[in-house]
Structure 1
Amino acid sequence: MEGERTAELIRAQLRRLRVNADLSQEEFGKLVHFSGSQVSAVELGQRPLDRFFLKPADEVLKTGGLLSSLLKMAERDGQPSWLRPWLEAERQAEQLRCYQPNLVPGLLQTENYARAVIRTNGALSDEQVEKRVSARMDRQSTFLRPDPPEFVAVIEEAVLRRAGEGFRGVMAEQAAHLIEQALRPNISVHLIPTEVSMHVGLTGPFTLARGTDGGWVGHLENHLGGVVADKDEEVAILLSRWEGVRNEALPRRQSVELIKEVMTS
């Protein structure tokens, strides 16, 4: 797959440039504010590539932005075209707010859950499915940043009760993963219980990202892909909708208890 070949090229270039600069992994890690073990994991392909690592690597190694440019090529190869404009906002966000009425948010999905969701598109080949699963997992590397974003997710309880024959194992694994993620200091998961039958968010999923400048940008998902909302009036509407869904959701601790209840029911 093109995205994987480009990623391997980045890792090879990184190793070559570091060695030519006569830097050990530990020495290089100190210069880019990562540990030596994290540098090793990147070079071995055990840690996803992201610009929060490659940008300072470009500066230290004086590449003229080569590694970051190669990463952009890998993203173009590995992500659906409609998603690309949103990725930069998501990667650089200080805070993310996501409402999902139908699915677990992509940033919190397990690999098996993501695969099950992506496979519902019968037009995709097995290779295309795996390519999209890999890309979705790579997006979660935003939480591996030294300064990961605060992520607040609001999900309908009904999403977790979608566990028909053959899907129970996947859903049980996904629910356990949600609890694990919800215990991290920068991630909050809130459920809207099924007894809340109608509210403003049911018209569709959306995500909001706040950048380092304090500005917000939104992303709306639909059957044709997605739309970035960056106009002031659009963002204002989404922020208002967010307040609506967040007010209907349970507090963090109660939400975790409800997830546990769903797992055992």
Structure 2
Amino acid sequence: MEGEPTAELIRTQLRRLRLNAELSQEEFGKLVHFSGSQVSAVELGQRPLDRFFLKRADEVLGTGGLLTSLLKLAERDGQPSWFRPWLEAECNAQQLRCYHPTLIPGLLQTENYARAVIRADDMLCDDEVEKRVAVRLDRQAVLSRPQPPKLVAVIEEAVLRRADEGFRGVMTQQITHLLQCIERPHISVHIIPAEVSTHVGLAGPFTLARGDDGGWVGHLENQLGGTTVDKDDDVAILIARWESVRSEALPQRQSTLLMKEVMTSWS
């Protein structure tokens, strides 16, 4: 498993907590709805760590969520090296500015939408898809902390309307989620209408994060991963492009009406 040092810590803590509770692997397995052999496989590292299993283990052992919290750290440790600097910047951000020409930004995706987007990569097995979905949803916790960052997202109208009949249920849920998000004072979503045929943002998605020190860091996505941008000149270019993209988008009220109109058009 990626993030192996933390994963090993989880297995060690699980075994310690089980033994302290004076439970055999069979007894513990019955409580968490796993077999004794499955519990043994988890503790020995022969079976991947499972969120459901660790959640039940936390409940049975009364850990206060210790094991699932450690799993989140393991998943973060297991992220590609190119992504870790951005995860840190995102986690510590006071402000976030996000533009994506083809997708709903990850921080605002529903579970079903995220799963559909990630599953589109047919090189990923089901376990890897679920792992990536879980990590994406965990990242959204930054928007629910006591002092969350101010998030401004710009989305193309075409992204909202990209839904055939089989995908409209997922998309309706996703747009409803966006409307719920913008009810929170620190989140705003602005839509670039379809009649804006071209603008500088169409060159690709990017996100900006402003830290405690007032400095900005950027992140660029591409087919092979992404790049964290921290050079002053490059960041200045991204900030200028953000201002250009934002100027093309509708105000919040009009964006809200457009999102509702898109859903109405499907009914």
Task: Please give the TM-score of this superposition, normalised by the length of structure 2.
Answer: 0.75
Alpha-carbon shift at residue 254 of structure 1 (Å): 1.0
Q: How big is the shift at 1:74?
A: 3.6
Contact 1:7–1:74 (CA under 8 A) maintained in structure 2? no
SS across alignment from 2:256: helix
Supply the AA of the counterpart residue of 1:162. R
C-alpha separation between the residues in 2 aligned to 1:243 and 1:134? 32
Aligned counterparts of 2:92 and 2:8: Cα–Cα separation in 1: 20
Give the C-alpha shift of residue 106 in structure 1. Answer: 0.1
Contact 1:200 1:241 survives alignment (8 Å): yes
Aligned-residue offset at 1:42:
9.0
The corresponding residue for 1:9 is 10
RMSD over aligned CA atoms reads 3.0
- Counting aligned pairs with the same residue, the percent is 64
Letter in 1 for 2:64: E
The 8 Å contact of residues 82 and 228 in structure 2, kept in 1 or not, is answered as no
**1:184 and 2:205 aligned:** no
**Could you say which residue in structure 2 is the equivalent of 1:194?**
194
For the 8 Å contact 1:7–1:71, the answer to whether it is kept is no
Structure 1's 216 and 170: CA in aligned 2 closer, same or farther, altered over 3 A? same
Shift of 1:228: 0.6
Q: Report the Cα offset of residue 183 of structure 1.
A: 1.1
2:255 matched to which residue of 1? 255
CA separation in 2, counterparts of 1:144 and 1:42?
A: 22
Pairing 1:69-80 to 2, within 5 Å after superposition: 72-77=73-78, 79-80=79-80
**Residue matched to 2:99:** 99
Change (3 A) 1:247 1:7: farther
Q: CA deviation at 1:182?
A: 1.1
The alignment partner of 1:82 has SS state of coil
Q: Closer, same or farther in 2 for the Cα pair 1:45/1:156, shift >3 Å?
A: farther
Q: What residue in structure 1 maps to residue 219 of structure 2?
A: 219
By how many angstroms is 1:115 displaced?
0.3
Shift of 1:43: 2.3
Deviations 1:70-127 (A, max 9, x none): 86544122x3443222100000000000001000000000000000000111100000
Gaps of 5+ in 2: 18-58
In the alignment of these two chains, the number of paired residues is 222
Unaligned runs of 5+ in 1: 17-39, 50-66
Residue 56 (structure 1) aligns with: none
Counterpart position of 1:163 = 163
Q: Secondary structure at the match of 1:43?
A: coil
